[in-house]
A and B are shown apart, each in its own frame.
Chain A
């Protein structure tokens, strides 16, 4: 059991070692950009999974925090000299605002039952979208604005490395968090909130912590996302952003950290590939249809996602192994 649980960090380290070497072997620029996108969205999906997979909170407003990070970075970098310092400050500001917003939103809504919470987060994210549309002096609305980024971020290779490192860092931070005594209580809240309360835990605190941490990490991914585009508009607040995270998490495997990373990779690669195909076959321009179908199939046949289903298969294998061993023992005895 111990060995099995310790496997995923090893995998991540091996994969990231390969990914570090990768750009030096392969000089395809578009592939590097695609991988960078995957890293950024994997961070976002992992933050979503902390809510959905570990704490059992269904949020339809996670784009809210993604957008907060995106606009903090965009606005600050366009107003000030695009130095590393102002970039770091902008990321910190985004995370700070996201933590305050997630705390307040959580305080107002987390006492509600799950489906009301989902609806309220949907409404609040919509509210942020409207504010971004209307506050034109700051955001230029749907037209958005471009901004300059620090030189080190202009270099695609170094940006690739930074995103990779951040993704691995977020993975390990969340791994430690979910394996901590507090993380175990988060899972208990997901499993049976009333029982967790009668064990003597204030479950609302745990839900708040989870949503604040998830909000801050989502804000980080939003900052990185607009850095890669050097452009920001209201689409960062759109519902699609949340739905993408939901799809990545469910496809990859809820309640695991590696799942969202795999999910992000699959969604981004197929998105890329389908839009390429769309150039020759018009139907593939509507790639969103395929994602819809994929989503339905995943929920119906792989509710545990790729990683979850694999784990289950291994679990069953082990169980039958134990059973046959017992049988053999009994026959021998």
Chain B
């Protein structure tokens, strides 16, 4: 069963085709990684999926329904949750409050203005549970702006999990992180995967990290879909090696 289908998806910025007629099918409860060099259009593709950008051409289908023209708000409610590459939290609120807002949205408590927010004990508990899950319960009362970068990323994942969306879009969850912090995030992602009830789409630069996790890998290059397959197939794909892996290798040696 496919949860997400992308047909001929194209977006042009001026004359530049950032994403160029991409076709994709994402199976339910699968783990798919998207790789590609800088500027390949990975984040743009995510923005098209989550609604931050509207495509010039083509369509995005969620469980068979065309959602191409819907706003991010509506798409979130329909089941697409995403994290951002640039850390995107509520800086002057506490860690707990950040997550609680996401829980509140998921619970559908949107316009209640007469009851005190503490009346909703369940939400606060759920927020605590989620913080527990990403190993941040101790920082619950800290302001989000005072967190280290890696912790902000973890917070972001907790907020994403709170939305309980079927589809998770993770945009480079380990970007800009120190090496010591990476295993913690990996552990969290593995936990989400092993719970087995979500479909995960991940953008990542660290190849070794995704090879073990992914069911399928998609390679983007200059806005085009270069290859798609199991990690093993991708590793042995010559085009990919030339265009991406080889290119990356050259960058390192140069």
- A contact residues vs B (CB 8 Å cutoff): 1, 176-177, 179-185, 187-188, 191-192, 194-203, 205, 209
Interface size on B, residues (CB 8 A): 35
Shortest distance from the beta carbon of A62 to any chain B beta carbon, whole Å: 21
B116: contacting residue among A180, A187, A199, A203, CB under 8 A: A180
Across the A-B interface, the 5 shortest Cβ-Cβ residue pairs: A200-B76, A191-B90, A182-B113, A200-B105, A180-B113
| Cross-chain contact A181 with B104 (CB below 8 angstroms) | yes
Question: Is B71 in the interface zone, CB < 8 Å from A?
Answer: yes
Residue of A nearest to B91 (CB): A191
Assess whether B112 is in contact with A199, with CB atoms less than 8 Å apart.
Answer: no
Question: Given that A177-B113, A184-B117 are known contacts, is A195 also in contact with B89, CB under 8 Å in the complex?
Answer: yes
Alpha-carbon gap, A184 to B93, bound state (A): 10
Q: Does B153 belong to the interface (CB within 8 Å)?
A: no
- Closest A-chain residue to B50, C-beta based? A198
A180 to B100 alpha-carbon distance, docked (Å): 13
* Cα distance, A183 to B118, chains bound together (Å): 12
Within 8 A of A (CB), among B39-86: 50, 52, 71-73, 76-77, 82
CB nearest to A177 among chain B residues: B113
Pairwise interchain contact B141-A182, C-beta atoms closer than 8 A: no
| Minimum C-beta distance from A255 to chain B (A) | 9
| Interchain CB contact (< 8 A) of B91 among A176, A192, A203, A209 | A192
CA distance in complex: A170, B100 (Å): 27
Query: Provided the pairs A197-B73, A200-B106 are in contact, do residues A179 and B141 lie with their beta carbons within 8 angstroms?
Result: no
User: Quick one: which of A185, A187, A197, A200 has the most chain B CB within 10 A?
Assistant: A200
**A185 and B104 within 8 A (CB):** yes
B210 → A minimal CB distance (Å): 24
Q: How far is the CA of A196 from the CA of B106 in the complex (A)?
A: 12
Given contacts A191-B91, A195-B90, A201-B105, contact A181 B115 (CB under 8 A): yes
Q: Is the interface of A mostly helix, strand, loop or mixed?
A: helix
| Residues of chain A with a CB closer than 8 A to B72's CB | 197-198
Note all chain A residues with C-beta closer than 8 A to B110.
181-182, 185, 201
A-B contact pairs, 28 of them (CB 8 A): A176-B114, A179-B117, A179-B118, A180-B116, A181-B110, A181-B115, A182-B111, A182-B112, A184-B104, A185-B101, A185-B104, A187-B93, A188-B90, A191-B93, A194-B88, A195-B90, A197-B71, A197-B72, A197-B73, A198-B52, A198-B73, A199-B101, A199-B105, A199-B159, A200-B77, A200-B105, A203-B73, A209-B111
**Residues of chain A lying within 8 A (CB to CB) of residue B92:** 191
A195 to B117, CA, bound (A): 20
Cα–Cα distance between A332 and B108 once the two chains are bound (Å): 48
User: Residues of A contacting B91 with CB < 8 Å?
Assistant: 191-192
The answer to whether B88 touches A192 (Cβ under 8 A) is yes
Supply 10 further A-B pairs (C-beta < 8 A) apart from A180-B116, A205-B111. A176-B114, A179-B118, A180-B112, A180-B113, A180-B117, A181-B120, A184-B97, A187-B90, A191-B93, A200-B105
The CA of A180 and the CA of B101, in the complex, are separated in Å by 12
Q: With the chains together, A23 CA to B112 CA distance in Å?
A: 39
